[in-house]
Amino acid sequence: MSESAVLTTPPAAMEDQAAPATRVRGYWQSVGYRLRHDKVTCFFAFMVLLIILSAVFAPLLSPFDPYKESVIGRLKPFGWRNHILGTDELGRDMLSRILHGGRVSLLMGIVPVLIASCVGGMLGVVAGFMGGRVNTGIMRTMDVFYAFPSVLLAVAISGAMGGGMVNGMLALTLVFIPPMCRVAETATTQVRSLDFIEAARATGAGTFIIIRHHVLGNVLGPVFIYASSLVSVSILLASGLSFLGLGVRPPTADWGLMLSTLRQSIYVVPFVCALPGVAIFITSICFNLVSDGLRQAMDVRM
């Protein structure tokens, strides 16, 4: 057996030859950089901002009272006596109603998703981190909800609880919790098996700190991206509920409800009747494309 066999001799110079640090950019900085250079996302983000602002400042922007009815001015086309977008079947100004309707739609689009991400995300993280029986318990319960198509589930829940905006939001929240929970669970399970969780444990971190710091930090990204894509779904579902008479009650201005009541007049003033639908379409597509852009900007880790 030759003795020098396995002994490697150290190279004379062992000191660092690593390349000097180039520009160091934080994660969020690089996300911001990518977003700024994504023109499509920038444009649609601007649109989303416009939609939100116009909803917030609807009372200031509306040329007429959205609830002021007029017997002679019913179902008038675009531009009739200063009603830029015409009037509806009760003679109310369409532009004002679309602006006001945006408030309800955005609220119904964002609030349920927010609540569902918190609740579903938390359940998912717990399920994913604890594993075993806890995971089975939570995830099988979620699977029960999955058995129903989401639209049907939303209709069934708000149908059972009665109409109204709060019940509609509750129904939508319940619909969004299972998919949110699943996303969080998947992300957590992936993160849980990575070395840095064990490394954190090896530096003395307790379970709570590990979840709060290392799991949440890594799960928040996917959850946020998924949530942003759910907003447009939520807007659509909310409009659907109102259309079916299960969401907000008339005379509240709401896109889904307006679509529903105007549908009988489609042959009289087709363009006016299509307006709420167009509003829903534009809003949901804007949210969707922004969410796509966010996903692309945030997903490139490593």
Partner 1 sequence: MNKTEPLAEVRDLKVRFVGREDTVHAVNGVSFAVHPGEVLCILGESGSGKSVTLRSLMRLLPDRARIEGDVRVGGQDVLKMSNRSLRDLRGGSVSMIFQEPMTALDPVYTVGEQIGETVRRHTGCDKAKARARALELLNLVRIPSAERRLDAYPHELSGGLRQRAMIAMALSCDPKLLLADEPTTALDATVQIQVLILLRKLQAEMGMGMIFVTHDLGVAAEIADNVAVMYAGRIVEYGPVERMMKAPLHPYTQGLLASTVHDQSRDQDIDAIPGSPPDMRRPPPGCGFAPRCVKARDVCRTAVPAERYPEPGRMAACVAVEVPEMAAA
Q: DSSP 3-state assignment of 69?
A: coil
Shortest approach of partner 1 to residue 15 CB, angstroms? 7
Nearer to partner 1, 14 or 71 (CB): 14
Nearer to partner 1, 87 or 218 (CB): 218
In degrees, rounded to 5, the angle at the alpha carbon of residue 118 between the alpha carbons of residues 113 and 120 is 85
Which residues have C-beta within 8 Å of that of residue 18, sequence separation ≥ 6?
none
> How far is Cα 135 from Cα 113, in angstroms, rounded to an integer?
23
Shortest approach of partner 1 to residue 124 CB, angstroms? 18
Q: What are the φ and ψ backbone dihedral angles of 196, each rounded to 5 degrees? A: -70, -20
Nearer to partner 1, 5 or 147 (CB): 5
How many Cβ atoms from other residues are within 10 Å of residue 118's Cβ? 15
Question: Which amino acid does the sequence have at 197?
Answer: I
Shortest approach of partner 1 to residue 18 CB, angstroms? 6
> How far is Cα 136 from Cα 208, in angstroms, rounded to an integer?
21
Q: DSSP 3-state assignment of 238?
A: helix
Shortest approach of partner 1 to residue 245 CB, angstroms? 46
End-to-end alpha-carbon separation of the chain, Å? 45
> How far is Cα 136 from Cα 230, in angstroms, rounded to an integer?
25
Shortest approach of partner 1 to residue 263 CB, angstroms? 49
How many Cβ atoms from other residues are within 10 Å of residue 106's Cβ? 22
Nearer to partner 1, 60 or 195 (CB): 195
**What value does the CA radius of gyration of the chain take, rounded to a whole number of Å?**
26
Which residues of this protein are in contact with partner 1, per CB under 8 A? Answer: 1-8, 10-11, 14-16, 18-21, 24-27, 194-196, 198-206, 209, 213-214, 217-218, 221, 301-302
Q: What are the φ and ψ backbone dihedral angles of 244, each rounded to 5 degrees? A: -85, 0
In degrees, rounded to 5, the angle at the alpha carbon of residue 147 between the alpha carbons of residues 144 and 153 is 95
Nearer to partner 1, 17 or 82 (CB): 17
Nearer to partner 1, 259 or 298 (CB): 298
Nearer to partner 1, 207 or 264 (CB): 207
Shortest approach of partner 1 to residue 224 CB, angstroms? 12
Shortest approach of partner 1 to residue 295 CB, angstroms? 16
